[in-house]
Amino acid sequence: MSAAQSQTTLESLQCHFTWDLDRSRPELLRLTHKMEDFSTEEGNKWLGHIYNLWGFIQYKLGLNEEAKSLFQKAAETLNKLRDADEGPWLVVNYGNLAWLHHHLGDLVESQAYLSKIDALMEKYPSPSQDELHPEIYAEKAWTLIYFGKDRKLVVDYYEKAARMQPDMVEWNTGYVLALVDDHEHNHNTNLDPDLLEKMRQAKEQDPENLYLAVLYLEQLANKRGPIKDEVCELVGNVSTLWCSDSGMWALLNLYIKYISVDDAIDLAEKVLKEHPDVRYLKKCVALCYRWKIIYKSRNCPDDTVDRAIALHEELLSLYPHAAFKKETDLASIYAKSSHSKAKAEQIFQKLLDNEPAEPADKQMLYNIYANHLYFNREDHHRSVQYHMKAAAIPEKSYFHNNSMRILKKKNLGKFRGNNYVQAK
């Protein structure tokens, strides 16, 4: 087969290389942290997909050997999770390997993987002639959560996968969670009864999914009020809480909202003591302290602030590609210290002198610094200036909305749609 023919065949594949997955280099680097954290979660049913996506990210970063190793690890993991030596779950993985070998100039190996894909698709055809195999829909949906911007497409892919193969519980859970995410993003109101019932049924089918259980409890609270007893019951065996996709932080948020931030800190510290080497748990503990210091208490004891500072300084080395966000958090905590306030200004000034390239990061910095100037320095004039700079960046985010709201309240500038234009 000629190189041109091979390229045409490759372009027809369903894999990460053909799904138009586009992110900036800083975003890709931050995603590696997320994949690394996911890979430490015991019993994670998406581990094969994690290695596949992680491998593609490494390829995009120019790390071809690391990409190959992760693609191979993905194949081994998928087979182990499915308890078989081969199956349709390998189609995306083989497509990734075919593309990678093509880019490396090894056309013979690339063609070998194309032949393996043909054999798999012949042996395991899609249940529906007009649709992709459900394994492909499921992996594509999972991937687009981290790369795509179309929430409805994620819902559609998960729905098709779950409908075509209803015995895959995690696919139905993914579908329900995607529905909730799409609803909250577009409506910001309580879920309708049908969706709440879907959540309840999914929770019964997938009782070990902590993230789903937390989201369901939060919706119950919106519907009928206090859920303190249910939250405490959910804690159960504290030593296993962290083993579920971001479920631990979701639970801690629930604690902060419906019980107390101090109880959330106690729980987080207890789980970290059980698993002292788990990086993600250190981040959870640090975020709880930050929440208490920044939002919940005007005057925290020095030992609380010092513990938060120590944790955030450790996170700088544990999450090097997310150092910018960690430094802004650290500066905000130093500003609340009784003995290190000057350190906050030093960090902020360093960040402002070396502004990040990403508009979203720049917007976040301007907004956080604006609030720091207002609440900690009582410099209201400069605070407004930085809110103006944040609002002028047309990135939809909490930080944009916060600066817009403050400027509107002060009746400053002009607003066109969702964008801020400084008055002349």
The per-residue pLDDT for 392 is 95
Q: Which of 335, 393, 332 is nearest to 362 (CA)?
A: 393
**How far apart are alpha carbons 321 and 30 in whole angstroms?**
5
**How far apart are alpha carbons 364 and 400 in whole angstroms?**
8
The per-residue pLDDT for 233 is 84
Evaluate whether 333 touches 297 at the Cβ level (below 8 Å).
no
Beta bridge partners of 414: 421
The per-residue pLDDT for 232 is 84
The per-residue pLDDT for 40 is 85
Give the tens place of pLDDT for each residue, 355-399. Answer: 898 999 999 999 999 999 999 999 999 999 999 999 999 998 999
The per-residue pLDDT for 419 is 57
The per-residue pLDDT for 54 is 98
**How far apart are alpha carbons 208 and 228 in whole angstroms?**
20
The per-residue pLDDT for 143 is 97
pLDDT along the chain (424 residues), means of 10: 54 95 94 93 90 98 98 97 97 98 96 95 92 98 91 96 96 96 79 91 92 91 82 71 71 91 94 91 96 86 95 96 95 92 96 93 96 94 96 93 93 58 49
Q: Which pTM was predicted?
A: 0.91
Three-state SS at 419: strand
Give the tens place of pLDDT for each residue, 311-329. Answer: 999 999 999 999 999 999 9
**How far apart are alpha carbons 25 and 27 in whole angstroms?**
5
Beta bridge partners of 415: 420
Give the tens place of pLDDT for each residue, 113-168. Answer: 999 999 999 999 999 889 999 999 999 999 999 997 789 999 999 999 999 999 99
User: What radius of gyration do the chain's Cα atoms show?
Assistant: 24
